[in-house]
Structure 1
Amino acid sequence: MVYILSEKTDRSTDLVTEWLVYLKSSFKRLNDEERVEASISVSNNGVESRYYQPRKVWHRRGNLNFLPDEIYDHYPDRTAFLRYFTRESSVLGEFFESRYRKLLGRNYIGSISQESLNNKLLNLVLASKNGFLIPQTLVTSNKEELVAFYKEHGCVITKDLRAPVNILSAGGHIVSDGVKLLNDKMIEQLEEKFVPVFLQKYVQKKYEIRSFAACDKIYSMAIFSQGDESTMIDYRNYNNKKPNRCVPVNLPPMVEQNLRNLMAAMEMNTGSFDLIVNKENEYYFLEVNPMGQFHWLSESCNYHIERDIAQFLADGK
Structure 2
Amino acid sequence: MILILSYDWYEQGTDPVIDWLIYQKADFAKITINDLVNRTTNTRLDINTGEIWINGIEISHKVNVIWFRRFEHDVPFNFSKETDDPLLKQADYELQFEIRELMQFLFQRFKKKVWMPHYLGINANKLDHIYLAKKRGVKMPETILCNNKADLLSFYEQQQNGIIMKPIRHSGYFTKGEKTFSIYTNSVKKNFIETLPEYFTATLFQQKVDSKMEIRVFYLDGSFYATAIIITKDNEETDVKLSFGTDNINWIPYELPQEYKLQLHDFFQSLHLNTCSFDVILTHNNEYILLDINPAGQYTAPGNKCNYKIEQKIANWLVEHDEKEREIHHIQQKNAEGAAFNL
Q: CA deviation at 1:288?
A: 0.6
The residue number in structure 2 matching 1:90 is: 100
Distance in 2, Cα, partners of 1:304 & 1:297: 10
Secondary structure at the aligned position of 2:97 is classed as: helix
- Higher-Rg structure is 2
TM-score normalised by the chain length of structure 2: 0.78
Residue 70 (structure 2) aligns with: 61
Q: Distance in 1 between matches of 2:32 and 2:23?
A: 21
List per-residue Cα deviations over 1:216-261 (Å, max 9, x = no partner).
Answer: 422111111x204544433223340225211111211111111111
Which of 89, 97, 101 is the equivalent residue of 1:79? 89
Partner residue of 1:158? 165
**Residue 113 (structure 1) shift:** 6.8
- Where does 1:107-186 land on structure 2 (aligned, <5 Å)? 107-110=114-117, 114-115=121-122, 117-154=123-160, 155-164=162-171, 166-167=173-174, 174-176=181-183, 178-186=184-192
Q: Is the 8 A contact 1:212 1:273 kept in 2?
A: yes
Tell me, yes or no, if the aligned pair for 2:227 and 2:253 is still in contact at 8 Å: yes
Aligned 8 A contact 1:118 1:289 in 2: no
Amino acid at match of 1:10: E
Cα distance in structure 2, aligned partners of 1:64 and 1:99: 20
Residues 153-302 of structure 1 correspond to what in structure 2 (within 5 A)?
153-154=159-160, 155-164=162-171, 166-167=173-174, 174-176=181-183, 178-224=184-230, 226-242=231-247, 244-302=249-307
Aligned residue for 2:5, secondary structure, equals: strand
For structure 1, the residue ranges without an aligned partner over 5 or more in a row are none
* Distance change (3 Å), C-alpha of 1:20 and 1:139: same
Question: Structure 1 residues 215, 135: closer, same or farther in 2, change over 3 A?
Answer: closer
AA matched with 1:92: L
Match of 1:48 in 2: 50
CA RMSD, aligned part only? 2.9
Q: Distance in 1 between matches of 2:75 and 2:283?
A: 47
Q: Could you list the per-position Cα deviations for residues 92-147 of structure 1 after superposition, in whole angstroms to 9, with x for gaps in the alignment?
A: 222212332x312xx311257744x3322221121122232222222211111211
SS of residue in 1 equivalent to 2:127? helix
CA–CA separation in structure 1 for the residues paired with 2:195 and 2:289: 31
Length, aligned pairs only: 303
Paired with 1:254 and 1:32, the residues of 2 have a C-alpha distance of: 41
In structure 1, distance between residues paired with 2:234 and 2:193: 23
State the TM-score, normalized to the length of structure 1. 0.84
Percent sequence identity over matched residues? 27
Structure 1 residue 273, shift from structure 2 partner: 1.1
Residue 12 of structure 1, CA deviation? 2.1
What SS does structure 2 have at the residue aligned with 1:145?
Answer: helix
The alpha-carbon deviation at position 150 of structure 1 amounts to 1.6
Higher helix share: 2
Which amino acid in 2 is paired with 1:249? Y
Bigger mean CA deviation after superposition, 282-291 or 211-220? 211-220
Q: 2:234·2:248 contact (CA, 8 Å) conserved in 1?
A: no
Amino acid at match of 2:68: H
State the match for 2:17 in structure 1. Answer: 16
Q: Structure 1 residues 252, 65: closer, same or farther in 2, change over 3 A?
A: closer
Q: Which residue of 1 aligns with 2:56?
A: none
Tell me by how many angstroms 1:168 deviates: 5.1
